[in-house]
């Protein structure tokens, strides 16, 4: 079951060539526990891997890559909500389609996000104003150090904006094996993002007749028109999180740049990182094998199949330029390994 010296290029959507010292494709809890026991015996670091759409391989991985391949989906009515339990290896978009095709609302704004369900809680995936935590109920995970199974409630996951306990204190300490979501019967569509509004206007869709499938179709159409397909142009989606800054800095920037795109979050302001990068002149720029996507400046692309150092080098240059111009720190969203 455990292979050695495995090429990871097909397993990451940035298509970075790197090798794993050891690689285990696991379909069951027993196989997972066996793989973890192997890593413990050899004192190997672990990289839990789903679809590889939110990682940057900065070099060869000297430990054990654990590739979760346990799909499976169960959807059942429970009181006044629908309960969905999915294996970590299940494809996220397939799950979204399975719900909207049954007329179930709640996940439609998260259509077409690449990757697998096991990774969705890691950064509390979000798009168009909806996040995983809005419907999250619980998850099961295996503790890497002991092999024991733990159940995490929503509170224990400590979800934040593109964040959770699994990106902080518990990083790489648990392997998520299944996730449970609850979709309430009552549906409140969220369609206020300008891109969705524009789509509905252009398609002359009447907002009163919306269905979950209709919103998912809009999200799919908008995303397809803007975002590069990783199968065609390797990328890891948004490369930086949108920075949240204090009022003072926001007002300073708004005065200097009246067209700044920003949204109020409590007593702070979330700036659109894509706008900052675009305004700084990076959109469409190519640097060797890597570059900045021409339609969305927040997405770094790797059309020339460059290595991790080229990708992280470009990211560092962009972040330094944004800091120098606007005094704003950009934090990469994908996680770097090793």
Distances, alpha carbon 108 to alpha carbons 36, 54, 79, 312, in Å: 35, 21, 22, 32
Pick from 276, 286, 274: which is nearest to 250 by CA?
276
Q: Which stretch binds ligand FAD (CB under 6 A): 120-128, 150-158, 306-314, 317-325?
A: 120-128
Least Å distance between CB 131 and ligand NAP? 9
Angle at Cα 193 formed by Cα 189 and Cα 195, nearest 5°?
Answer: 115
Q: Which of 139, 154, 227, 314 binds ligand NAP (CB under 6 A)?
A: 227
Q: Which of 272, 305, 313, 335 binds ligand NAP (CB under 6 A)?
A: 272
Q: Which of 256, 263, 284, 317 binds ligand NAP (CB under 6 A)?
A: 263
Which positions are annotated as active-site residues?
Answer: 162, 238, 333
Q: Which of 226, 247, 251, 286 binds ligand NAP (CB under 6 A)?
A: 226
308 sits near ligand FAD (criterion: CB under 6 A): no
Q: Which stretch binds ligand NAP (CB under 6 A): 43-51, 197-205, 208-216, 237-245?
A: 237-245
Query: Token pair of 317, please?
Result: 């240059």
Least Å distance between CB 242 and ligand NAP? 5
15 sits near ligand FAD (criterion: CB under 6 A): no
227 sits near ligand FAD (criterion: CB under 6 A): yes
Residues that bind ligand NAP (CB under 6 A): 126-129, 192-195, 226-227, 237-238, 242, 261, 263, 272, 274, 296, 298, 333
Residues that bind ligand FAD (CB under 6 A): 13, 47-55, 68, 88, 113-116, 118-120, 122-123, 125-127, 162, 175-176, 227, 230, 235-237, 335
């Amino acid at each position: 079951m455990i292979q050695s010296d495995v090429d990871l290029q097909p397993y990451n959507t940035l298509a970075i060539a790197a090798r794993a010292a050891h690689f285990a494709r696991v379909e069951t809890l027993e196989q997972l526990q066996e793989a973890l026991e192997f890593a413990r015996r050899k004192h190997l670091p672990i990289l839990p891997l789903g679809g590889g759409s939110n990682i940057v391989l900065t070099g060869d991985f000297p430990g054990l890559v654990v590739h979760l391949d346990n799909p499976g989906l169960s959807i059942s009515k429970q009181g006044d909500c629908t309960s969905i339990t999915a294996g970590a290896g299940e494809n996220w978009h397939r799950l979204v389609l399975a719900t909207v095709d049954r007329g179930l609302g709640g996940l439609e704004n998260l259509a077409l996000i690449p990757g697998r369900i096991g990774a969705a809680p890691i950064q509390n995936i979000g798009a168009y104003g909806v996040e995983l935590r809005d419907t999250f109920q619980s998850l099961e995970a295996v503790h890497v150090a002991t092999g024991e199974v733990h159940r995490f409630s929503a509170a224990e996951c400590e979800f934040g904006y593109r964040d959770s306990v699994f990106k902080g204190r518990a990083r790489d300490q648990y392997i998520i094996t299944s996730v449970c979501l609850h979709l309430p019967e009552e549906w409140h569509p969220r369609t206020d993002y300008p891109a969705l509004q524009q789509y509905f206007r252009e398609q002359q869709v009447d907002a009163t007749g919306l269905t979950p499938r209709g919103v998912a179709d809009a999200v799919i159409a908008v995303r397809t028109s803007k975002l590069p397909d990783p199968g065609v142009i390797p990328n890891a989606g948004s490369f930086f999180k949108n920075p949240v800054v204090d009022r003072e800095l926001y007002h300073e920037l708004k005065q200097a740049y009246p067209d700044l795109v920003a949204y109020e979050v409590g007593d702070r302001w979330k700036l659109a990182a894509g706008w900052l990068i675009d305004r700084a002149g990076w959109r469409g720029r190519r640097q060797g094998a890597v570059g900045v996507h021409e339609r969305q400046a927040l997405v770094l692309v790797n059309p020339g199949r460059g290595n991790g150092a080229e990708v992280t080098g470009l990211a560092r240059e962009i972040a330094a330029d944004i800091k120098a111009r606007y005094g704003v720190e950009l934090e990469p969203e994908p996680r770097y390994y090793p």
